[in-house]
């Protein structure tokens, strides 16, 4: 028995614009790597094709799948990469109909069994966490799946049918470390965003699953709303392995809530110092968790940058879509992070339900008033698993084109606005933030703070300039 996993590229950038993100920001497919490691631990042969890294044609990927001799191919995809997944699966079924196609990831979990009714090239769906479900499927030879929890299959009537719910893994430390060794070009091909790291090689880690919060725009269909996490011992052993086997010197904890459990953070920081494991890191934190003690712990343990989901600078919009916090307090807490000696990145959205041009301009002005080193701005996208999805058409026009639903293309336009307004305000947001002398000075200082970023930037300067000219930034 052999299982091959494929991470499709999909449509992950602006339609009609060359995707430069694969040059400067490429994260290993951690979900697939975790499932692959679990199968390997139980004696099952595994291979991985990362289409996002290799950018090979569908024909080449299908030829590799067939040549591998695998019994099944597992696709993990988002909503925007699903159409490409289906095209690859359709091509594969035309040439090797006996290879079982299995789909997992956010899109499979949110649409569920009905997805099988419209896409005949897909045989099975994994609903929820994939490790134990894929192991059970492999042991069963991907047949007679009716009694395997967490699976959608075609019943006797030919329509999509869901088995019982799969229980969540309570002890995440029981899982092996992700199978990085199965990526042919790791870590050279994979890197964090430009100027978001002080040294290289670097990579991403996820050390927790689930989220107890209920933001209107977030999909929690895969890991649910609970919160489970790896222990500090496990995390440090994970980083030690990355350093020992791949030379990794900086990591990004990609958890939504790395700082949620204060006790875990404290133990992690103390144990890191005790074991003498030297590495720097970035993390994501919620503003509600920030205080001087937490910042002292983070800085003392090598934290280099903290990212915050701020989303909007309009209080009424915030109240509608996430837990509200005082906007004056945000600036104070970000300043605390800066004074503690760490970089600060703010994450924002434009085009949320209920927004108008005035509200978005309030967000832009607010962002420019904050002590931020950099920002990431996305366009609101109503994903099928998000709470707001069910009623989204009550608040504006929604073009549910899955291939464009990647938070960069404009697919939702709030009532009273136009797509052109959203696009222009998005461009203005980025342009006004980055075309300021003190921001440019900050990047000039990166000559010694992040030399690898500078080298990568200069090496790909023609692509950057061409992109900027096309985007009018």
CATH 3.40.50.280 location in the chain: 2-162
Say yes or no: domain 2-162 is CATH 3.40.50.280: yes
In terms of C-beta distances under 8 Å and separation of at least 24 residues, what long-range contacts does 271-277 make, across chains too? 271/232, 271/233, 271/236, 272/232, 272/236, 272/301, 272/302, 273/300, 273/301, 275/236, 277/236, 277/239, 277/240, 277/243
Q: What is the largest CA-CA distance in the chain?
A: 66
CA angle 49, 52, 56 (to 5 degrees): 70
- CATH of 191-471 among 3.80.30.20, 3.40.50.620, 3.30.300.30, 3.30.1490.20: 3.80.30.20
pLDDT at residue 468, as a whole number: 62
Q: What is the per-residue pLDDT across 380-407, written as a single tens digit (0 to 9) for each?
A: 999 998 889 999 999 999 999 999 999 9
* Contact residues for 300 (Cβ-Cβ < 8 A; gap 6+): 269, 273
**pLDDT of 166 above 60:** yes
pTM of the model: 0.93
pLDDT at residue 326, as a whole number: 79
Q: What is the per-residue pLDDT across 219-257, written as a single tens digit (0 to 9) for each?
A: 766 666 678 999 999 999 999 999 999 999 999 999 988
How high does pLDDT run on average in the chain? 91
Going along 121-276, which residue ranges are E strands?
124-126, 151-154, 160-162, 202-205, 208-209, 228-229, 250-253
Q: Which residues does residue 252 pair with via DSSP β-bridges, in sequence order?
A: 204, 282
Phi–psi pair at 239, nearest 5 degrees:
-65, -40
Contact 265, 302 (CB under 8 A): no
CATH 3.80.30.20 location in the chain: 191-471
Query: Containing H/E element for 321?
Result: helix 315-321
């Amino acid at each position: 028995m052999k299982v091959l996993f494929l991470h499709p590229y999909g449509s992950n950038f602006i339609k009609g614009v060359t995707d430069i993100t694969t040059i400067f920001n490429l994260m290993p497919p951690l979900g697939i790597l975790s499932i692959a490691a679990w199968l390997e631990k139980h004696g099952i042969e595994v291979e991985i094709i990362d289409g996002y890294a290799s950018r090979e044609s569908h024909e080449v990927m299908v030829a590799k799948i067939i040549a591998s001799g695998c019994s099944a191919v597992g696709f993990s995809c988002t909503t925007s990469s699903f159409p490409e997944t289906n095209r690859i699966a359709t091509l594969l079924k035309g040439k090797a109909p006996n290879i079982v196609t299995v789909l997992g990831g956010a899109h499979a979990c949110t649409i569920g069994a009905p997805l099988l009714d419209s896409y005949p090239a897909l045989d099975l769906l994994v609903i929820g966490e994939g490790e134990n479900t894929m192991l059970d499927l492999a042991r069963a030879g991907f047949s007679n799946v009716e009694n395997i929890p967490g699976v959608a299959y075609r019943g006797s009537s030919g329509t999509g049918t869901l088995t019982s719910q799969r229980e969540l893994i309570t002890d995440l430390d029981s899982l092996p470390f992700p199978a990085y060794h199965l990526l042919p070009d790791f870590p050279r091909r994979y890197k964090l965003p430009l100027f978001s790291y002080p040294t290289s090689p670097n990579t991403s880690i996820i050390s927790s699953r689930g989220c107890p919060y209920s933001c209107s725009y977030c999909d929690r269909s895969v890991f649910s709303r609970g919160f489970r996490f790896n222990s500090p011992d496990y995390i440090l052993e994970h980083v030690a392995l990355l350093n020992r086997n791949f030379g990794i010197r900086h990591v990004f904890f990609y958890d939504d809530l790395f700082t949620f459990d204060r006790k875990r953070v404290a133990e992690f920081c103390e144990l890191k110092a005790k074991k003498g494991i030297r590495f720097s890191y970035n993390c994501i934190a919620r503003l509600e968790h920030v205080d001087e003690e937490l910042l002292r712990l983070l800085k003392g343990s090598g934290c280099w940058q903290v990212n915050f989901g701020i989303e909007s600078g309009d209080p009424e919009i915030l109240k509608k879509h996430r837990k509200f916090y005082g906007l004056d307090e945000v600036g104070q807490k970000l300043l605390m992070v800066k004074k503690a000696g760490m970089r600060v990145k703010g994450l924002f959205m434009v085009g949320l339900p209920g927004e108008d041009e005035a509200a978005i301009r309030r967000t832009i002005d607010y962002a420019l008033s904050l002590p931020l080193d950099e920002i990431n701005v996305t366009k609101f996208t109503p994903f099928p698993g998000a709470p707001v999805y069910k009623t989204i058409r009550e608040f504006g026009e929604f073009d549910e084109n899955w291939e464009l639903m990647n938070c960069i293309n404009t697919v939702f336009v709030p009532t009273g606005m136009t797509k052109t307004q959203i696009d222009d305000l998005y461009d203005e947001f980025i342009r006004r933030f980055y075309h300021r002398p003190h921001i440019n000075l900050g990047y000039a200082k990166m000559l010694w703070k992040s030399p690898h970023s500078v080298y990568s930037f200069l090496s790909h300067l023609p692509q950057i300039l061409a992109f900027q000219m096309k985007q009018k930034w």
